[in-house]
């Protein structure tokens, strides 16, 4: 089974900061990785698919990169509305999806 890890588990940053979250897979998953945003009490929302593609309608301050087992997700200019938990998700063993444990982003 593929295991996904994320770091950090939580972070605090100031409005306007650049924030980066990393996600590591236990094996090579090529670019089979997505990123979701979940705000409190809401369903997750797809932000990035196939490691680096921005979902339609998602602000360009969000980006993703990586290939193989190491991936990163960046918010270029943190905004108050970005307060959320962010999850990576692998689909290398499709149709079985595996989520990372999440990274909670707060405003300092």
Partner 1 sequence: QVQLEESGGGVVQPGRSLRLSCAASGFTFSDYGMHWVRQAPGKGLEWVAVIWYDKSYTYYAESVKGRFTISRDNSKNTLYLQMNSLRDEDTAVYYCARDVRSARYDFWGQGTLVTVSS
Q: Which residues bind partner 1 (CB under 8 A)?
A: 32, 34, 36, 38, 42-46, 49-50, 55, 87, 89, 91, 94-102
- Closest CB to partner 1 among residues 17, 67: 67
DSSP per-residue string spanning 2-58: --EEEE-SEEEE-TT--EEEEEEESS--TT-EEEEEE-TTS--EEEEETTTEEPTT-
Smallest distance from the beta carbon of 90 to partner 1, in angstroms? 10
Measured from the Cβ of residue 92, the count of other Cβ atoms closer than 10 Å reads 16
Measured from the Cβ of residue 40, the count of other Cβ atoms closer than 10 Å reads 8
Helix (H) or strand (E) holding 84: strand 84-90
- Closest CB to partner 1 among residues 16, 57: 57
Smallest distance from the beta carbon of 20 to partner 1, in angstroms? 20
Smallest distance from the beta carbon of 61 to partner 1, in angstroms? 20
Smallest distance from the beta carbon of 71 to partner 1, in angstroms? 14
- Closest CB to partner 1 among residues 11, 17: 11
């Amino acid at each position: 089974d593929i295991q996904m890890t994320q770091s950090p588990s939580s972070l605090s940053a100031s409005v306007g900061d650049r924030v980066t979250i990393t996600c590591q897979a236990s094996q090579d998953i090529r670019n089979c990785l997505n990123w979701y945003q979940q705000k409190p009490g809401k369903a997750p929302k797809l932000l990035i698919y196939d490691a680096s593609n921005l979902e339609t309608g998602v602000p360009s301050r969000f980006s993703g990169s990586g290939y193989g087992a190491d991936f990163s997700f960046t918010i270029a200019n943190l905004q108050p509305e970005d307060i959320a938990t962010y999850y990576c998700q692998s689909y290398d063993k499709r149709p079985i999806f595996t989520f990372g444990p999440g990274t909670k982003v707060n405003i300092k």
